A and B are shown apart, each in its own frame.
Chain A
Amino acid sequence: MKALSKGQHRWGFVCGQISVLEGRLMSYDFFMNLGSIEKSEDVLHRLQETSLREFMVPGAETWEDWSTIIDSYVHSQIDELKKAAPSSVITDVFLLNEDYVNLKRALNGKNSLFPKNIFSDSRLTEIAGGNPSLFPEVIRPAISTIANPAGAQTENPIITDIVLDGCYLRQYLWLISRLNCSLLKDWAEFRVLSKLIVVLWRAVKAGHNLKIFQQYLLPLDPFNHLVGELCATTELRSWGNIIPGVIGDIWRESFELSEDEQIPKFEQKVSDFMTQQVKQAKLQTMGPERVGAFCWGLNMEAFNLKLIVSGKLNGLPSNMLKDRIRQTYV
């Protein structure tokens, strides 16, 4: 297959590692089988036969224990790839959500939950003191609007969430644009658009005023106009005429479902489409897209693991769980 990006030979080492690691990813059939197992102890026992085993700790029983195990499993693999890759940009994209959890905690005067990635200790300490000057230019102006001295309560927690969501998506697109890889750029824009739609959709369902979102979520080039249009439309059904392309088709399909199913099914269908899209990278021997695709595959694996573990621990029916299992990379 033709190379999708320039300088792909520099990615040879990390892609060699990925060739091995891909063989350890869990398949869709594995998750379907796991979902069919009735007893939660049997599910946890079965997981000991997977690559998750080395992260398991004795006595892990609660959802929090398993969530931490799965997060460490994903983080350690992406972190290992980050060290081996010629550029950390693509792995940073997949660790960025952890950084934003830490950032949010720092803004509330709490300690970090995840290991540091892009936002170092000094940056988080500074933000806790109300100084956002160490943050990248792309998000600094927005962060400065919510930065308060340590422990001080923000005036409106919803606004803090919206600003952080906007910063996260902005930095996400900014990082991807530095890779100069069309496959990843298209894929990331698709992801950001789907995230935007979900944020606004949830806001409509919760009865929030969308003008606040337009004010604090933007700018998010190239979606500024689209977000403006969605925020200006009070009738949810007419979103179907505004949202473009495949994502618009998925939205219209999901909107026909029952109220409770709409957003989860939309997210599931979008992620399945994105997994399908990113599988093109498997045909590449080397390149950043291969690393990005693997990291996405790892995220999907983590999602399915969390879904099944939490479902089994809470006694949810197998059929319901199996219906929500997302497509896997392998």
Chain B
Amino acid sequence: MDNALAIEIGRGLAIAGAGLAVGLGCSGSGKGIGIASQAVGGVLSEKPDLFGRLLVLLALPGTQGFYGFITAILIFVRSGLITGQMIITPGTGLALFVLGFGVGLALYFSAQWQGEASAASISLVARRPEAFGRSVILPAMVETYAVVALLVAILAINWLTASNDVTAFIRAH
């Protein structure tokens, strides 16, 4: 395969992976917050003084969007897109694509389920405001798995792109 074409394919796959990570993460967060905000709206129409507490529960599903953003930025930085030294082999590009897709899926579904968990906690706080401390733990448990996905993304991007420089690539070909 032509070197330039191989680099082009690798670059395309890596960018697509980054796009999926941020796209799915943000979509999931939007949906999760949407679910929770419906419940918040209903509770606030009866008890406006609970706004401060409910805002915390409402914001929790929003973190997945940021995790997707971090994953995408890491792929851009480590693949050399930002510095202009972008040398990605097709194999590494494919790995980054699959990684971005997998992380994106984890973020999408965890944000959605976290939205559901937040809505349940919002109902709990509406009935028993004193249970706020415990109610935050429920959606935070879902957050754990979004954090795990982010950690895997950070480590895998670092490992995959560790030998990613121009000379190594040219020598290999």
Contacts and interface: CB of A to CB of B under 8 A. Distances in A.
A, B: real partners = yes
A232 interface: no
Interface stretch (A19-27, A110-118, A255-263): A19-27
A62 B37 CA distance: 45
Interface string A6-21: 0001111111111111
A23 B44 CA distance: 14
Interface stretch (B6-14, B120-128, B151-159): B120-128
Given A12-B119, A13-B42, A19 B127 contact: yes
A19 B35 contact: no
Interface in A270-321: 285-286
A20 B46 contact: yes
A18 to B, nearest CB: 7
Contact of A19 (B34, B37, B116, B122): B122
Interface in B12-26: none
A285 B120 CA distance: 5
Interface in A23-60: 23
B3 interface: no
A84 interface: yes
Contacts, number: 66
Contact of A16 (B34, B116, B126, B128): B126
A13 B127 contact: no
A15 B42 contact: yes
Nearest to B45: A17
B105 to A, nearest CB: 20
Per DSSP, chain B at the interface is: helix
Given A18-B42, A84-B42, A23 B119 contact: no
A323 to B, nearest CB: 30
A20 B47 contact: yes
B29 to A, nearest CB: 15
B38 A12 contact: yes
B60 interface: no
A125 to B, nearest CB: 35
B126 A19 contact: yes
A13 B35 CA distance: 9
Nearest to A330: B127
A8 to B, nearest CB: 9
Contacts of B123: 15-16, 19, 285
B88 interface: no
Contacts of B116: 285
Contacts of A285: 39, 116, 119-120, 123
A19 B38 contact: no
A94 to B, nearest CB: 18
B38 A16 contact: yes
Nearest to B124: A19
B38 A9 contact: yes
Contacts of A16: 38-45, 122-123, 126
Interface in B93-123: 116, 119-120, 122-123
Interface of B: 34-35, 37-47, 116, 119-120, 122-124, 126-128
16 contacts: A9-B35, A12-B119, A13-B38, A13-B39, A16-B39, A16-B41, A16-B43, A17-B46, A18-B42, A19-B123, A19-B127, A20-B46, A20-B127, A23-B127, A285-B39, A285-B116
Interface of A: 9-23, 84, 285-286
Given A15-B42, A22-B127, A285-B123, 5 more contacts: A12-B35, A16-B39, A16-B42, A16-B126, A17-B43
